[in-house]
Amino acid sequence: MTRAPAPADALLHWLFDETLPYWWRHGFDRDCGGFHERLDAERRPVTRDGKRAMVQARQIYVFAQAALLGRMDEGADLARAGFDFLCGHCRHPAGGWRFRVTRAGDPMDDTRDLYTQAFALFALAWRHRLDGAGAARALAEETLDYLDRAMAHPSGGYREGTDPSGRPTSGPRRQNPHMHLFEALLEWHAATGDTAWLVRARSIAGLLAARFCAGGALREYFADDLSPADGDQGRLVEPGHHYEWAWLLHRYRQLSGDAQYAELAAGLYDFAEAHGIDPVSGGVIDAVDCDGRPVRRSRRFWPQTEAVKAHIARLEATGEPASARRLDTQVDSLIRSHMAGVPASGWREHLGEDGSTLVPDLPASSLYHITLAAAELDRLQRGG
């Protein structure tokens, strides 16, 4: 297969011609700066909860990506404006990036969690890609220094976060922030060609293989020593993250030439295909246990987009005709279940088992997922 499936044209049109222009007009706070967290069911900005640094970071990526693809020239200036807000208001004076600020940009939650640090690093890579901004690289190096100094964990990987006073936060450890840190490191390598970023990424891939996937399925929650968390929490598995890691490991192989995790990527993909698909809708369900038994049959928007990316990765890795068919089917399912019948520039964020809408709002954070999937489909269309 050398081009994206036919339904991809509809998805690309929906995103680049309808949705992102709408969010360019209504999703950026032109009074206070920065991106709005979400739009409500009537498409009005929701401002009462302030602004998370993670959402600012994701939206910087979205509009930088659209500009670099040649799909939305005005996206570059919006990404730069978002970057200015992120750097001007979300940096913590003791290092790292604070979790949340008020609408106006004043500190609201000075927790510095690993998830936010990963996305800040990711956004910095895409800001650097726009025009080689030197400030972005310096900030990235500062962020890594903070992670190594304040959040490195003796059992491997990084702590979940630090509280406003700088002490480690409590609670289970998670694979998900490490996954997004891995993603950010890959993007910095892609942006600079510097192999030091790949060395760091490789250590996280090793953690995935040795600890997060020990016993087969990718678990979500862990004890301090990275053994599975107690009870049902330690058995929880999200098929969407299986697909997401499968694609990321494929990208790691493309960038590094290192195929040592190809079998792991295939196993993650196969588990999601075997246990994560709703037989009626064809959509990806939210959660199963580590034996593949359904836990939550609801269907969020983002796992559907991660399946698209994973099917592309599997197709490129194997050339299997079945992967091409799965890709076509998945894009069609995504449009049919989450976009069809919704006013232009919107989507259904979360569906119940019966297909009913559980979340009427439109979170800005979801645009990161669909833009990544669209960028991969665009790449296929261009033959790359």
Q: Is residue 372 part of a domain?
A: yes
- For the chain, what is the mean pLDDT? 96
Per-residue pLDDT tens over the stretch 65-88: 999 999 999 999 999 999 999 999
Structural domain range at position 334: 7-381
Q: Is residue 216 part of a domain?
A: yes
3-state secondary structure the chain: CCCCCCHHHHHHHHHHHHHHHHHHHHCECCCCCCECCEECCCCCEECCCCEEHHHHHHHHHHHHHHHHCCCCCCHHHHHHHHHHHHHHHCECCCCCECCEECCCCCEEECCEEHHHHHHHHHHHHHHHHHHCCHHHHHHHHHHHHHHHHHHECCCCCECCEECCCCCECCCCEECHHHHHHHHHHHHHHHHHCCHHHHHHHHHHHHHHHHHHCCCCCCCCEECCCCCECCHHHHHEECHHHHHHHHHHHHHHHHHHCCCCCHHHHHHHHHHHHHHCECCCCCCECCEEECCCCEEECCEEHHHHHHHHHHHHHHHHHHCCHHHHHHHHHHHHHHHHHHCCCCCCCCCCCEECCCCCEEECCEECCHHHHHHHHHHHHHHHHCCC
Q: Is residue 268 part of a domain?
A: yes
pLDDT of residue 3: 56
Q: Is residue 1 part of a domain?
A: no
Per-residue pLDDT tens over the stretch 209-241: 999 998 789 999 999 999 999 999 999 999 999
Indicate whether 2 pLDDT > 50: no
> How many structural domains are present in the chain?
1
Domain harbouring 48, CATH code: 1.50.10.10
Q: Is residue 248 part of a domain?
A: yes
